[in-house]
Amino acid sequence: MLFFARERLVLLSVPKTGTTAWQAALGDRASLVVRDPPELKHAPLYRYNRFFRPMFEKFCDGPIEIVAFVREPVSWLGSWFRYRKRPFLAGRPTSTQGLDFDTFVRGYLEESPPPWAQVGSQAAFLAPRPNGARVDRLFRYEAPEALRAFLHARLGVEVVPERANVSPEAPLELTSDTEATLRERCAADFALWENAAR
């Protein structure tokens, strides 16, 4: 998470949307960078609303604009799948070594997903709160130039993040049945991405 006090702006760090690279590029410009632990770095909107928002608004004398990236859902799941293939996870319950992507997604769609498929949901991460807290601007991961233009206008800086935390390549093939089920059950995630700025 990045917080810019003077501009009253927060960039939430949705997992698997390249936010590590944005943190590296904007860290010196931000008033506060939350890097660790992951539960705070990747604080979903409900956690931001509960813990960070009251403090930020108190010291900024007013509401904070919230922005975030969202990634095309199949690609987002593919990033999780590839990340969990990394050698340091070998032998752990969250490892996807020995699995193919279709098996991973079918596991993700189970009512009680196995540990290696428990990755949450972008729609749940960014779900508006009962008190009205919501993401004000949503940008597509696949179209970073829209966020770059926005940040240039708001912060007055040119930002070109370098790739960081890149997972190893792996085939990301789904059967038509698995993809159809994913699109049906995760319709909110697909709608979120469809409506994001590009």
Which pLDDT tens digits describe the chain residue by residue (198 residues)? 999 999 999 999 999 999 999 999 999 999 999 999 989 999 999 999 999 999 999 889 888 999 999 999 999 999 999 999 999 999 999 999 999 999 999 999 999 999 999 999 999 999 999 999 999 999 999 999 999 999 999 999 998 887 766 777 888 999 999 999 999 999 999 999 999 988
Strands (E), the chain: 2-4, 9-11, 32-33, 65-70, 137-140
Calculate the alpha carbon distances from 91 to 34, 84, 106 in Å: 30, 11, 21
In the block, which residue shows the tokens 């904007």? 26
| The residue type at 25 | A
Nearest one of 100, 82, 83, 80 to 174, comparing CA atoms:
100
Query: In terms of C-beta distances under 8 Å and separation of at least 24 residues, what long-range contacts does 26-32 make, across chains too?
Result: 26/2, 26/151, 26/155, 26/157, 26/159, 27/2, 29/4, 29/155, 29/157, 30/2, 30/3, 30/4, 31/3, 31/4, 31/5, 31/6, 32/1, 32/2, 32/3, 32/5
Q: Where are the domains of the chain?
A: 2-194
What pTM did the predictor assign?
A: 0.93
CB 137 within 8 A of CB 11: no
Q: Is the CATH code 3.40.50 the one for domain 2-194?
A: yes
Cα 26-132-192 angle, rounded to 5 deg: 65
Where does residue 146 rank: exposed (0-12), middle (13-18), buried (19+ CB within 10 A)?
middle
